[in-house]
Amino acid sequence: MNEKVVVITGAGSGLGASLAKKYSELGSHVCLLGRTRTNLERTAQTLVNGYSIYELDVTSKSEVDIVFQSIKENAGPIDLLINNAGLGVFDLAENIGEEAIHQMIDINLKGTIFCTQAVLPDMKERNQGKIANVISTAGIEGKVTESVYCASKFGVRGFTESLLVELKDSAVQVYAAYMGGMRTAFWDGIFSEEEIKNLMDPDDVAEIIMDNIKPRKNLNVTEVVIKNSF
């Protein structure tokens, strides 16, 4: 097990919670990051190994820097960062409010950048570590009522692809997951119960992501696209 210390943003529910549980079962010390402590504590109850909980607003670079420094001091060097925190507000482009625009750009894009910046210097110095960005298929194709959400995710895609170029001569790995809708609270109030029922299971998506991240001789997966079957 190479990932002794795993940091997951947006770990309070959905895919983040599934990834946390599965990495814990593999023996990792999982650091649960999110805005709502009660949600993180609910995820923590499913873990079988050591864990840490950190309330964090990823849109605040100062908060990110403090939390990640605390993780390194208390849990040790970070082996895997999973940038999973995300927010979507969906409507026709002209109807999306200013606050919603700021939130999507700040959480989805800036949050990914800030958290990545917090781990890069140490990973580069150690010449090891992995950064996995959960991006969504909204980062590879435009979608109706998702214009700003797509804009934020296209931004994360550009950031991720640039990291791959920057780090090509190092052993630090960068990975992107472009997945469709999952059966999580993310879609509450957006899709009907019937529509949500037919979406992908986050446990299945978590397994695919983990299987593609794990080290293999003479092979490096940089991205995977996971779509619903309908």
d(C-alpha 149, C-alpha 86), whole Å: 10
- The SS3 call for residue 31 is strand
- Taking the CA atoms of 41, 44, 50 and 53 in sequence, report the sign of the dihedral they define: negative
Residues 184-210 as b or e (16 or more Cβ within 10 Å = b): bebbeeebeeeebeebbebeebbeebb
Burial class (CB in 10 A: 0-12, 13-18, 19+), 160: buried
Per DSSP, the residues of 159-182 read HHHHHHHHTTTSS-EEEEEEE--B
- The SS3 call for residue 150 is helix
Active-site residue flag, 54: no
Of 23, 51, 54, 149, which one is the catalytic site residue?
Answer: 149
Per DSSP, the residues of 101-135 read HHHHIIIIIIHHHHHHHHHHHHHHHHT--EEEEE-
Tokens representing 207?
């397994």
d(C-alpha 207, C-alpha 151), whole Å: 27
Burial class (CB in 10 A: 0-12, 13-18, 19+), 182: buried
Return the active site residues: 149
